[in-house]
Structure 1
Amino acid sequence: MRLLFLGDVVGKPGRAAIAERLPGLRARWRLDCVVVNGENAAGGFGITEAICDELLGAGADAITLGNHSFDQREALVFIERQHRLVRPMNYPPGTPGRGTALVETESGARVLVVSVMGRLFMDPLDDPFAAVERALGDCPLGAAADAIMVDVHAEATSEKQAMGVFCDGRASLVVGTHTHVPTADARIMPGGTAYMSDAGMCGDYDGVLGMAKEEPLRRFLQKTPGTRLEVATGPGTICGVAVETDPKTGLARRVAPVRLGPHLSETWPAFWE
Protein backbone atom coordinates (compact mmCIF):
# COMPACT_ATOMS: atom_id res chain seq x y z
CA MET A 1 0.00 0.00 0.00
CA ARG A 2 1.19 3.56 -0.75
CA LEU A 3 0.70 6.05 2.05
CA LEU A 4 1.38 9.78 2.23
CA PHE A 5 1.34 11.89 5.37
CA LEU A 6 1.54 15.68 5.10
CA GLY A 7 2.59 17.89 8.03
CA ASP A 8 0.79 20.81 9.64
CA VAL A 9 -1.09 22.93 7.10
CA VAL A 10 -0.52 26.59 8.01
CA GLY A 11 -3.11 28.98 6.63
CA LYS A 12 -3.93 29.81 3.04
CA PRO A 13 -0.43 29.15 1.55
CA GLY A 14 -0.48 25.60 2.90
CA ARG A 15 -4.02 24.98 1.73
CA ALA A 16 -3.26 26.41 -1.71
CA ALA A 17 -0.17 24.21 -2.09
CA ILE A 18 -2.19 21.12 -1.23
CA ALA A 19 -5.05 22.10 -3.54
CA GLU A 20 -2.57 22.62 -6.37
CA ARG A 21 -0.30 19.60 -5.86
CA LEU A 22 -2.13 16.81 -4.03
CA PRO A 23 -4.56 15.72 -6.79
CA GLY A 24 -1.65 15.27 -9.19
CA LEU A 25 0.46 13.46 -6.59
CA ARG A 26 -2.36 11.02 -5.86
CA ALA A 27 -2.51 10.07 -9.53
CA ARG A 28 1.23 10.20 -10.23
CA TRP A 29 2.23 8.10 -7.21
CA ARG A 30 -0.95 5.97 -7.21
CA LEU A 31 -1.53 6.74 -3.55
CA ASP A 32 -3.88 4.55 -1.54
CA CYS A 33 -4.28 6.81 1.49
CA VAL A 34 -3.36 10.41 2.31
CA VAL A 35 -3.49 11.89 5.81
CA VAL A 36 -3.00 15.61 6.48
CA ASN A 37 -2.51 17.42 9.78
CA GLY A 38 -4.89 20.38 9.62
CA GLU A 39 -4.73 21.95 13.08
CA ASN A 40 -3.25 25.25 11.80
CA ALA A 41 -5.23 25.40 8.57
CA ALA A 42 -7.53 28.32 9.56
CA GLY A 43 -5.24 31.34 9.73
CA GLY A 44 -2.72 29.33 11.72
CA PHE A 45 -5.17 28.47 14.51
CA GLY A 46 -7.53 25.51 14.26
CA ILE A 47 -9.78 24.37 11.44
CA THR A 48 -13.23 25.28 10.12
CA GLU A 49 -15.75 22.99 8.49
CA ALA A 50 -15.28 24.70 5.12
CA ILE A 51 -11.50 24.20 5.30
CA CYS A 52 -11.94 20.60 6.42
CA ASP A 53 -14.13 19.96 3.37
CA GLU A 54 -11.56 21.76 1.20
CA LEU A 55 -8.71 19.50 2.32
CA LEU A 56 -10.79 16.35 1.94
CA GLY A 57 -11.88 17.53 -1.50
CA ALA A 58 -8.26 18.03 -2.53
CA GLY A 59 -7.51 14.37 -1.85
CA ALA A 60 -6.98 13.87 1.88
CA ASP A 61 -8.61 10.72 3.26
CA ALA A 62 -8.35 11.87 6.88
CA ILE A 63 -7.26 14.97 8.80
CA THR A 64 -5.49 14.91 12.15
CA LEU A 65 -5.38 17.73 14.68
CA GLY A 66 -3.37 18.78 17.75
CA ASN A 67 -3.19 21.42 20.46
CA HIS A 68 -5.12 23.91 18.28
CA SER A 69 -7.95 21.44 17.62
CA PHE A 70 -10.68 23.68 18.98
CA ASP A 71 -9.30 27.18 18.42
CA GLN A 72 -12.17 27.63 15.98
CA ARG A 73 -15.19 27.06 18.18
CA GLU A 74 -17.27 25.61 15.35
CA ALA A 75 -14.97 22.57 15.46
CA LEU A 76 -16.61 21.60 18.75
CA VAL A 77 -19.78 20.95 16.75
CA PHE A 78 -18.86 19.73 13.29
CA ILE A 79 -16.16 17.33 14.50
CA GLU A 80 -18.98 15.14 15.82
CA ARG A 81 -20.40 14.57 12.35
CA GLN A 82 -17.12 14.53 10.40
CA HIS A 83 -15.66 11.11 11.13
CA ARG A 84 -12.56 11.72 9.02
CA LEU A 85 -11.46 14.58 11.27
CA VAL A 86 -9.41 13.13 14.13
CA ARG A 87 -8.35 15.02 17.28
CA PRO A 88 -5.75 13.66 19.75
CA MET A 89 -7.26 10.60 21.41
CA ASN A 90 -5.77 11.43 24.81
CA TYR A 91 -8.00 14.45 25.33
CA PRO A 92 -10.09 13.91 28.49
CA PRO A 93 -13.26 11.79 28.30
CA GLY A 94 -16.20 13.82 27.06
CA THR A 95 -14.18 15.92 24.62
CA PRO A 96 -16.07 16.17 21.29
CA GLY A 97 -14.86 14.05 18.41
CA ARG A 98 -12.74 10.94 18.26
CA GLY A 99 -9.07 10.03 18.31
CA THR A 100 -9.03 7.41 15.57
CA ALA A 101 -10.55 6.85 12.14
CA LEU A 102 -10.68 3.65 10.12
CA VAL A 103 -10.41 4.69 6.47
CA GLU A 104 -11.38 2.33 3.67
CA THR A 105 -9.36 2.81 0.49
CA GLU A 106 -10.67 2.40 -3.05
CA SER A 107 -9.23 -1.13 -3.10
CA GLY A 108 -11.08 -2.03 0.09
CA ALA A 109 -8.01 -1.95 2.35
CA ARG A 110 -8.43 -0.53 5.84
CA VAL A 111 -6.13 2.19 7.21
CA LEU A 112 -6.32 3.08 10.89
CA VAL A 113 -5.43 6.73 11.53
CA VAL A 114 -4.46 7.57 15.12
CA SER A 115 -3.89 11.05 16.56
CA VAL A 116 -2.21 11.55 19.93
CA MET A 117 -0.63 14.52 21.69
CA GLY A 118 2.57 14.54 23.72
CA ARG A 119 2.83 15.90 27.25
CA LEU A 120 6.40 17.26 27.44
CA PHE A 121 6.20 21.09 27.16
CA MET A 122 2.56 20.70 26.08
CA ASP A 123 -0.85 20.73 27.76
CA PRO A 124 -0.98 17.96 30.42
CA LEU A 125 -3.38 15.59 28.72
CA ASP A 126 -3.92 11.91 29.49
CA ASP A 127 -1.08 9.42 28.97
CA PRO A 128 -0.42 9.23 25.19
CA PHE A 129 1.24 5.81 25.43
CA ALA A 130 -1.75 4.25 27.18
CA ALA A 131 -4.04 5.85 24.60
CA VAL A 132 -2.06 4.45 21.66
CA GLU A 133 -1.92 1.04 23.35
CA ARG A 134 -5.71 1.01 23.43
CA ALA A 135 -5.95 2.01 19.77
CA LEU A 136 -3.50 -0.65 18.60
CA GLY A 137 -5.19 -3.26 20.77
CA ASP A 138 -8.67 -2.45 19.51
CA CYS A 139 -7.62 -2.46 15.84
CA PRO A 140 -4.40 -4.49 15.44
CA LEU A 141 -2.27 -4.34 12.33
CA GLY A 142 -2.74 -7.33 10.06
CA ALA A 143 -6.08 -8.25 11.62
CA ALA A 144 -8.51 -5.34 11.79
CA ALA A 145 -6.29 -2.91 9.85
CA ASP A 146 -4.13 -3.33 6.75
CA ALA A 147 -2.07 -0.25 7.65
CA ILE A 148 -1.80 2.04 10.67
CA MET A 149 -0.62 5.67 10.67
CA VAL A 150 0.08 7.35 14.02
CA ASP A 151 0.42 11.15 14.22
CA VAL A 152 2.31 12.16 17.39
CA HIS A 153 1.67 15.86 17.91
CA ALA A 154 4.45 16.74 20.33
CA GLU A 155 7.16 19.25 21.13
CA ALA A 156 9.96 16.94 22.32
CA THR A 157 11.74 14.69 19.84
CA SER A 158 12.54 12.32 22.71
CA GLU A 159 8.84 11.74 23.33
CA LYS A 160 8.19 11.23 19.63
CA GLN A 161 11.07 8.77 19.30
CA ALA A 162 9.90 6.89 22.38
CA MET A 163 6.47 6.55 20.76
CA GLY A 164 8.12 5.20 17.64
CA VAL A 165 9.92 2.54 19.68
CA PHE A 166 6.68 1.80 21.56
CA CYS A 167 4.79 1.19 18.29
CA ASP A 168 7.58 -0.54 16.37
CA GLY A 169 6.27 -3.67 14.70
CA ARG A 170 2.66 -2.69 15.41
CA ALA A 171 2.16 0.32 13.09
CA SER A 172 3.04 1.13 9.50
CA LEU A 173 4.11 4.71 10.27
CA VAL A 174 4.74 6.82 13.35
CA VAL A 175 5.29 10.46 12.41
CA GLY A 176 5.68 13.60 14.51
CA THR A 177 3.97 16.92 13.93
CA HIS A 178 3.78 20.30 15.72
CA THR A 179 7.28 21.80 15.36
CA HIS A 180 6.76 22.71 11.67
CA VAL A 181 10.35 21.76 10.74
CA PRO A 182 11.02 18.58 8.70
CA THR A 183 13.59 16.30 10.30
CA ALA A 184 16.24 14.24 8.52
CA ASP A 185 15.59 10.95 10.32
CA ALA A 186 13.02 9.20 8.12
CA ARG A 187 13.82 5.51 8.50
CA ILE A 188 12.39 2.03 9.02
CA MET A 189 12.82 0.85 12.60
CA PRO A 190 13.99 -2.70 13.48
CA GLY A 191 10.44 -4.03 13.86
CA GLY A 192 9.32 -2.66 10.49
CA THR A 193 7.62 0.61 11.42
CA ALA A 194 8.49 3.70 9.38
CA TYR A 195 9.38 6.69 11.53
CA MET A 196 10.09 10.42 11.16
CA SER A 197 10.39 12.83 14.10
CA ASP A 198 8.59 15.68 12.34
CA ALA A 199 6.90 15.81 8.95
CA GLY A 200 7.40 19.58 8.72
CA MET A 201 4.65 21.93 7.62
CA CYS A 202 2.73 22.77 4.51
CA GLY A 203 3.05 26.55 4.35
CA ASP A 204 5.35 29.50 3.66
CA TYR A 205 8.86 28.74 4.97
CA ASP A 206 9.93 32.35 4.42
CA GLY A 207 8.56 33.22 7.84
CA VAL A 208 8.64 31.88 11.39
CA LEU A 209 6.86 28.52 11.56
CA GLY A 210 4.56 29.68 8.77
CA MET A 211 3.73 33.02 10.34
CA ALA A 212 4.78 36.45 9.06
CA LYS A 213 8.25 37.29 10.39
CA GLU A 214 7.77 40.67 11.98
CA GLU A 215 5.64 39.91 15.05
CA PRO A 216 7.46 36.72 16.16
CA LEU A 217 10.79 38.54 15.84
CA ARG A 218 9.48 41.56 17.75
CA ARG A 219 8.29 39.29 20.57
CA PHE A 220 11.75 37.75 20.92
CA LEU A 221 13.45 41.13 20.85
CA GLN A 222 11.13 43.13 23.09
CA LYS A 223 9.18 40.64 25.24
CA THR A 224 6.15 42.95 25.28
CA PRO A 225 2.54 42.50 24.17
CA GLY A 226 1.96 43.11 20.49
CA THR A 227 -0.32 42.31 17.61
CA ARG A 228 -1.86 39.00 16.70
CA LEU A 229 0.28 36.54 14.76
CA GLU A 230 -0.59 36.49 11.06
CA VAL A 231 0.11 33.80 8.50
CA ALA A 232 2.99 34.45 6.08
CA THR A 233 1.56 35.03 2.61
CA GLY A 234 4.27 33.70 0.28
CA PRO A 235 4.04 30.50 -1.78
CA GLY A 236 3.62 27.33 0.23
CA THR A 237 5.88 24.29 0.37
CA ILE A 238 4.47 20.79 0.87
CA CYS A 239 6.28 18.66 3.44
CA GLY A 240 5.60 15.17 4.66
CA VAL A 241 6.63 11.54 4.42
CA ALA A 242 5.82 8.75 1.97
CA VAL A 243 5.62 5.09 2.96
CA GLU A 244 5.17 1.88 1.00
CA THR A 245 3.94 -1.06 3.04
CA ASP A 246 4.18 -4.82 2.64
CA PRO A 247 0.71 -6.06 1.64
CA LYS A 248 1.14 -9.19 3.76
CA THR A 249 2.20 -7.58 7.04
CA GLY A 250 1.24 -3.90 6.76
CA LEU A 251 4.72 -2.94 7.91
CA ALA A 252 6.91 -0.50 6.02
CA ARG A 253 8.96 -1.61 3.07
CA ARG A 254 10.21 1.81 1.94
CA VAL A 255 10.07 5.33 3.35
CA ALA A 256 11.14 8.75 2.05
CA PRO A 257 10.65 12.39 3.07
CA VAL A 258 8.62 14.66 0.79
CA ARG A 259 9.48 18.35 0.26
CA LEU A 260 7.96 20.12 -2.74
CA GLY A 261 8.09 23.88 -3.21
CA PRO A 262 10.28 26.92 -2.66
CA HIS A 263 12.77 27.69 0.13
CA LEU A 264 13.68 24.05 0.93
CA SER A 265 15.64 21.53 -1.12
CA GLU A 266 13.11 19.35 -2.90
CA THR A 267 12.93 15.62 -2.37
CA TRP A 268 10.34 12.94 -3.09
CA PRO A 269 10.07 9.12 -3.16
CA ALA A 270 12.21 8.22 -6.17
CA PHE A 271 11.08 4.60 -5.82
CA TRP A 272 7.60 5.65 -7.05
CA GLU A 273 8.82 7.52 -10.13
Structure 2
Amino acid sequence: MKLLYCGDVVGRAGRDAIVARVPELRRSLGLDFVLVNGENAAAGFGITGKICEEFYAAGVDVIVLGNHAWDQRETLSYINGDPRLLRPLNYPKGTPGKGAGLFTLQNGKKVLVIQVMGRIFMDPLDDPFAAVDGELQKYRLGSGADAIVVDIHGEATSEKMAMGHFCDGRVSLVCGTHSHVPTADAQILPNGTAYQTDAGMCGDYNSVIGMEKTEPLNRFTRRVPGGRFEPAMGEATLCAVYVETDDRTGLATRIQPIRLGGRLQQAML
Protein backbone atom coordinates (compact mmCIF):
# COMPACT_ATOMS: atom_id res chain seq x y z
CA MET A 1 0.00 0.00 0.00
CA LYS A 2 1.13 3.56 -0.71
CA LEU A 3 0.33 6.20 1.90
CA LEU A 4 0.88 9.96 2.07
CA TYR A 5 0.66 12.03 5.23
CA CYS A 6 0.65 15.82 4.77
CA GLY A 7 1.72 17.94 7.76
CA ASP A 8 -0.20 20.78 9.42
CA VAL A 9 -2.04 22.86 6.80
CA VAL A 10 -1.70 26.56 7.73
CA GLY A 11 -4.16 29.07 6.30
CA ARG A 12 -5.07 29.71 2.69
CA ALA A 13 -1.53 29.20 1.39
CA GLY A 14 -1.47 25.70 2.85
CA ARG A 15 -4.99 24.92 1.65
CA ASP A 16 -4.09 26.01 -1.87
CA ALA A 17 -1.08 23.68 -1.82
CA ILE A 18 -3.24 20.72 -0.80
CA VAL A 19 -5.92 21.42 -3.41
CA ALA A 20 -3.35 22.00 -6.16
CA ARG A 21 -0.90 19.18 -5.45
CA VAL A 22 -2.75 16.25 -3.87
CA PRO A 23 -4.63 15.25 -7.07
CA GLU A 24 -1.39 15.05 -9.06
CA LEU A 25 0.42 13.22 -6.25
CA ARG A 26 -2.38 10.66 -6.10
CA ARG A 27 -1.95 10.02 -9.82
CA SER A 28 1.83 10.16 -10.11
CA LEU A 29 2.58 8.09 -7.01
CA GLY A 30 -0.38 5.74 -7.29
CA LEU A 31 -1.45 6.61 -3.75
CA ASP A 32 -3.95 4.41 -1.94
CA PHE A 33 -4.55 6.69 1.03
CA VAL A 34 -3.96 10.38 1.82
CA LEU A 35 -4.06 11.78 5.35
CA VAL A 36 -3.84 15.48 6.24
CA ASN A 37 -3.50 17.39 9.51
CA GLY A 38 -5.99 20.24 9.14
CA GLU A 39 -6.06 21.85 12.57
CA ASN A 40 -4.61 25.17 11.33
CA ALA A 41 -6.42 25.27 8.00
CA ALA A 42 -9.00 27.99 8.81
CA ALA A 43 -6.93 31.19 8.95
CA GLY A 44 -4.42 29.34 11.12
CA PHE A 45 -6.91 28.26 13.78
CA GLY A 46 -9.07 25.15 13.45
CA ILE A 47 -11.05 23.90 10.47
CA THR A 48 -14.52 24.28 8.99
CA GLY A 49 -16.86 21.90 7.23
CA LYS A 50 -16.37 23.79 3.97
CA ILE A 51 -12.61 23.31 4.15
CA CYS A 52 -13.04 19.62 4.90
CA GLU A 53 -15.15 19.23 1.76
CA GLU A 54 -12.51 21.05 -0.31
CA PHE A 55 -9.86 18.64 0.93
CA TYR A 56 -12.00 15.56 0.28
CA ALA A 57 -12.73 16.79 -3.25
CA ALA A 58 -8.96 17.12 -3.83
CA GLY A 59 -8.39 13.46 -2.89
CA VAL A 60 -7.79 13.59 0.85
CA ASP A 61 -9.19 10.52 2.63
CA VAL A 62 -8.96 11.52 6.30
CA ILE A 63 -8.28 14.75 8.22
CA VAL A 64 -6.89 14.86 11.76
CA LEU A 65 -6.84 17.79 14.16
CA GLY A 66 -4.96 18.65 17.38
CA ASN A 67 -4.89 21.32 20.06
CA HIS A 68 -6.70 23.81 17.79
CA ALA A 69 -9.54 21.37 17.15
CA TRP A 70 -12.25 23.62 18.56
CA ASP A 71 -10.99 27.06 17.51
CA GLN A 72 -13.81 27.17 14.96
CA ARG A 73 -16.89 26.67 17.09
CA GLU A 74 -18.84 25.03 14.27
CA THR A 75 -16.50 22.03 14.48
CA LEU A 76 -18.05 21.01 17.81
CA SER A 77 -21.33 20.24 16.05
CA TYR A 78 -19.94 19.32 12.62
CA ILE A 79 -17.47 16.65 13.71
CA ASN A 80 -20.06 14.09 14.83
CA GLY A 81 -21.46 14.01 11.30
CA ASP A 82 -18.11 13.60 9.55
CA PRO A 83 -16.50 10.21 10.25
CA ARG A 84 -13.41 11.20 8.26
CA LEU A 85 -12.53 14.07 10.62
CA LEU A 86 -10.68 12.90 13.74
CA ARG A 87 -9.70 14.75 16.92
CA PRO A 88 -7.18 13.46 19.51
CA LEU A 89 -8.21 10.10 20.94
CA ASN A 90 -7.04 11.01 24.44
CA TYR A 91 -9.49 13.87 24.90
CA PRO A 92 -11.83 13.24 27.86
CA LYS A 93 -14.82 10.94 27.44
CA GLY A 94 -17.82 12.84 26.16
CA THR A 95 -15.81 15.12 23.86
CA PRO A 96 -17.50 15.39 20.44
CA GLY A 97 -16.10 13.30 17.63
CA LYS A 98 -13.74 10.37 17.76
CA GLY A 99 -9.98 9.89 17.77
CA ALA A 100 -9.64 6.73 15.69
CA GLY A 101 -11.30 5.29 12.63
CA LEU A 102 -11.08 2.22 10.42
CA PHE A 103 -11.48 3.20 6.78
CA THR A 104 -12.22 0.79 3.91
CA LEU A 105 -10.65 1.72 0.57
CA GLN A 106 -12.15 1.08 -2.85
CA ASN A 107 -9.91 -1.97 -3.26
CA GLY A 108 -11.26 -3.43 -0.01
CA LYS A 109 -8.15 -2.82 2.06
CA LYS A 110 -8.60 -1.27 5.50
CA VAL A 111 -6.58 1.55 7.07
CA LEU A 112 -6.79 2.36 10.77
CA VAL A 113 -5.95 5.96 11.70
CA ILE A 114 -5.27 6.91 15.31
CA GLN A 115 -4.51 10.40 16.55
CA VAL A 116 -3.34 11.33 20.03
CA MET A 117 -1.99 14.52 21.55
CA GLY A 118 1.18 14.60 23.60
CA ARG A 119 1.19 15.87 27.18
CA ILE A 120 4.65 17.47 27.51
CA PHE A 121 4.22 21.27 27.22
CA MET A 122 0.65 20.58 26.05
CA ASP A 123 -2.77 20.25 27.70
CA PRO A 124 -2.91 17.67 30.54
CA LEU A 125 -4.95 15.08 28.67
CA ASP A 126 -5.33 11.35 29.25
CA ASP A 127 -2.33 9.07 28.69
CA PRO A 128 -1.67 8.95 24.92
CA PHE A 129 0.25 5.67 25.18
CA ALA A 130 -2.63 3.90 26.93
CA ALA A 131 -5.07 5.37 24.39
CA VAL A 132 -3.07 4.04 21.44
CA ASP A 133 -2.56 0.67 23.09
CA GLY A 134 -6.29 0.32 23.63
CA GLU A 135 -6.96 0.76 19.91
CA LEU A 136 -4.18 -1.62 18.94
CA GLN A 137 -5.76 -4.28 21.13
CA LYS A 138 -8.87 -4.04 18.93
CA TYR A 139 -7.14 -4.05 15.54
CA ARG A 140 -4.05 -6.07 14.69
CA LEU A 141 -1.82 -5.04 11.81
CA GLY A 142 -2.08 -7.49 8.92
CA SER A 143 -5.37 -8.98 10.10
CA GLY A 144 -7.81 -6.39 11.49
CA ALA A 145 -6.19 -3.62 9.42
CA ASP A 146 -3.99 -3.69 6.33
CA ALA A 147 -2.22 -0.50 7.45
CA ILE A 148 -2.22 1.51 10.66
CA VAL A 149 -1.16 5.15 10.95
CA VAL A 150 -0.59 6.90 14.29
CA ASP A 151 -0.32 10.69 14.47
CA ILE A 152 1.11 12.10 17.70
CA HIS A 153 0.46 15.84 17.89
CA GLY A 154 2.96 17.26 20.35
CA GLU A 155 5.77 19.62 21.28
CA ALA A 156 8.40 17.24 22.66
CA THR A 157 10.52 15.23 20.25
CA SER A 158 11.25 12.76 23.05
CA GLU A 159 7.57 11.99 23.54
CA LYS A 160 7.06 11.52 19.81
CA MET A 161 10.09 9.23 19.54
CA ALA A 162 8.88 7.22 22.52
CA MET A 163 5.55 6.72 20.77
CA GLY A 164 7.38 5.49 17.68
CA HIS A 165 9.23 2.82 19.64
CA PHE A 166 6.11 1.99 21.66
CA CYS A 167 4.29 1.20 18.41
CA ASP A 168 7.21 -0.36 16.53
CA GLY A 169 6.13 -3.57 14.84
CA ARG A 170 2.45 -2.92 15.56
CA VAL A 171 1.69 -0.10 13.12
CA SER A 172 2.76 0.99 9.64
CA LEU A 173 3.64 4.61 10.41
CA VAL A 174 4.07 6.85 13.45
CA CYS A 175 4.41 10.51 12.45
CA GLY A 176 4.48 13.61 14.61
CA THR A 177 2.82 16.93 13.92
CA HIS A 178 2.46 20.34 15.64
CA SER A 179 5.94 21.89 15.43
CA HIS A 180 5.46 22.80 11.72
CA VAL A 181 9.14 22.03 11.02
CA PRO A 182 10.02 18.86 9.05
CA THR A 183 12.56 16.71 10.86
CA ALA A 184 15.42 14.87 9.16
CA ASP A 185 14.93 11.53 10.93
CA ALA A 186 12.68 9.60 8.55
CA GLN A 187 13.46 5.93 9.12
CA ILE A 188 12.08 2.44 9.45
CA LEU A 189 12.40 1.34 13.07
CA PRO A 190 13.89 -2.07 13.92
CA ASN A 191 10.57 -3.93 13.95
CA GLY A 192 9.24 -2.42 10.72
CA THR A 193 7.34 0.76 11.61
CA ALA A 194 8.04 3.88 9.54
CA TYR A 195 8.74 6.93 11.68
CA GLN A 196 9.35 10.67 11.40
CA THR A 197 9.31 13.02 14.39
CA ASP A 198 7.46 15.81 12.55
CA ALA A 199 6.06 15.95 9.04
CA GLY A 200 6.40 19.75 8.89
CA MET A 201 3.66 22.02 7.57
CA CYS A 202 1.88 22.85 4.38
CA GLY A 203 2.32 26.61 4.56
CA ASP A 204 4.51 29.60 3.77
CA TYR A 205 7.96 29.20 5.37
CA ASN A 206 8.73 32.93 5.00
CA SER A 207 7.00 33.22 8.36
CA VAL A 208 7.11 32.19 12.00
CA ILE A 209 5.77 28.61 11.80
CA GLY A 210 3.27 29.71 9.19
CA MET A 211 2.24 33.03 10.70
CA GLU A 212 3.03 36.45 9.23
CA LYS A 213 6.20 37.60 11.01
CA THR A 214 5.27 41.02 12.42
CA GLU A 215 3.06 39.96 15.33
CA PRO A 216 5.20 37.02 16.56
CA LEU A 217 8.33 39.21 16.43
CA ASN A 218 6.54 41.97 18.32
CA ARG A 219 5.55 39.56 21.07
CA PHE A 220 9.00 38.01 21.32
CA THR A 221 10.88 41.30 21.40
CA ARG A 222 8.49 43.56 23.33
CA ARG A 223 6.32 41.04 25.20
CA VAL A 224 3.28 43.09 24.20
CA PRO A 225 0.59 41.70 21.90
CA GLY A 226 -0.21 44.11 19.12
CA GLY A 227 -2.87 42.20 17.22
CA ARG A 228 -4.00 38.85 15.91
CA PHE A 229 -1.78 36.21 14.43
CA GLU A 230 -2.42 36.00 10.68
CA PRO A 231 -1.21 33.23 8.36
CA ALA A 232 1.55 34.14 5.92
CA MET A 233 0.25 34.28 2.37
CA GLY A 234 3.29 33.51 0.22
CA GLU A 235 3.75 30.31 -1.75
CA ALA A 236 3.45 27.29 0.50
CA THR A 237 5.73 24.30 0.75
CA LEU A 238 3.77 21.06 0.89
CA CYS A 239 5.56 18.94 3.48
CA ALA A 240 4.54 15.29 3.65
CA VAL A 241 5.74 11.79 4.40
CA TYR A 242 5.39 9.01 1.83
CA VAL A 243 5.29 5.40 3.01
CA GLU A 244 5.05 2.06 1.23
CA THR A 245 3.92 -1.01 3.15
CA ASP A 246 4.15 -4.75 2.69
CA ASP A 247 0.76 -6.07 1.57
CA ARG A 248 1.16 -9.20 3.68
CA THR A 249 2.32 -7.73 7.01
CA GLY A 250 1.32 -4.06 6.82
CA LEU A 251 4.80 -3.05 7.96
CA ALA A 252 6.77 -0.36 6.15
CA THR A 253 9.16 -1.12 3.32
CA ARG A 254 9.95 2.51 2.45
CA ILE A 255 9.65 6.01 3.91
CA GLN A 256 10.48 9.21 2.05
CA PRO A 257 9.93 12.86 3.04
CA ILE A 258 8.32 15.02 0.36
CA ARG A 259 8.69 18.81 0.07
CA LEU A 260 7.18 20.62 -2.89
CA GLY A 261 6.98 24.33 -3.70
CA GLY A 262 7.83 27.37 -1.62
CA ARG A 263 11.15 28.14 0.03
CA LEU A 264 12.41 24.82 1.43
CA GLN A 265 14.82 22.54 -0.39
CA GLN A 266 12.68 20.33 -2.59
CA ALA A 267 12.40 16.60 -1.95
CA MET A 268 10.56 14.03 -4.03
CA LEU A 269 10.79 10.32 -4.82
- Which residue is equivalent to 1:127? 127
Secondary structure of 1:244's match?
A: strand
What letter matches 1:11 in structure 2? G
Q: Normalising by structure 2, what TM-score? A: 0.99
Cα distance in 2 for partners of 1:225, 1:71 equals 19
Per-residue CA deviation, residues 53-92 of structure 1 (Å, 9 max, x unaligned), is 1111111100011000011010000100100000000000
Q: Give 3-state SS (helix, strand or coil) of 2:80's partner.
A: coil
Matching residue of 1:183? 183
- Whole-angstrom CA distance in 2 between matches of 1:135 and 1:268: 33
| Rounded Cα–Cα distance in structure 2 between residues aligned with 1:136 and 1:260 | 33
Deviation above 6 Å: which 4+ runs of structure 1?
none
* Alpha-carbon distance between aligned partners in 1 of 2:248 and 2:119, rounded to the nearest angstrom: 34
The corresponding residue for 2:31 is: 31
Q: Is the 2:215–2:225 Cα contact (8 Å) retained in structure 1?
A: no
Asked if the contact 1:176/1:198 (under 8 Å) is kept, the reply is yes
Distance 1:38 1:31 in 2: 19
Structure 1 residue 225, shift from structure 2 partner: 2.3
Instruction: Indicate whether 1:41 and 2:28 are aligned.
Output: no
Which runs of 5 or more structure 2 residues have no equivalent in the other structure?
none
Equivalent position of 1:163 in the other structure: 163
Mapping 1:107-118, distance limit 5 Å: 107-118=107-118
CA distance in 2, matches of 1:140, 1:14: 34
Cα deviation digits, residues 3-43 of structure 1 (max 9, x gap): 00000000100000111111011011000000000000000
Give the drift of 1:226. Answer: 1.6
Match of 1:251 in 2: 251
- Does the aligned pair in 1 maintain the 2:218–2:225 contact within 8 Å? no
- For 1:79-228, what aligned pairs fall within 5 Å after superposition? 79-228=79-228
Q: Distance in 1 between matches of 2:101 and 2:210?
A: 28
Q: Tell me the distance in 2 between the aligned counterparts of 1:138 and 1:73.
A: 32
| TM-score when normalising by structure 1 | 0.98
User: Which 5+ residue runs of structure 1 have no aligned equivalent?
Assistant: none
Counterpart amino acid of 1:126? D
Q: Percent identity?
A: 61
Give 1:103 deviation, angstroms: 1.4
What's the CA shift for 1:140? 1.4
**C-alpha displacement at 1:143, in angstroms?**
1.4
Question: What's the CA shift for 1:121?
Answer: 0.1
2:231 equivalent in structure 1: 231
Q: Distance in 1 between matches of 2:2 and 2:227?
A: 43
Q: 2: CA distance between counterparts of 1:243 and 1:122?
A: 28
Q: Write out per-residue CA displacement over residues 82-111 of structure 1, whole angstroms, 9 at most, x where no aligned residue.
A: 000000000000000000111112211000
SS in 1 for 2:81: coil
| Mapped contact 2:178–2:198 kept (Cα < 8 A) | yes
Residues paired across the two proteins, number: 269
Report if the CA contact (8 A) 1:62-1:101 is conserved.
no
2-side partners of 1:36 and 1:103: how far apart?
A: 14
Distance of 2:46 and 2:235 partners within structure 1: 20
Partners of 2:227 and 2:248 in 1: how far apart? Answer: 53
Amino acid in the other structure paired with 2:75: A
**1:40-59 to 2 correspondences below 5 Å:** 40-59=40-59
State the AA in 2 paired with 1:116. V
Q: Which amino acid aligns with 1:164?
A: G
CA RMSD across the alignment: 0.6
Q: Distance in 2 between matches of 1:248 and 1:89?
A: 28
SS at match of 1:80: helix
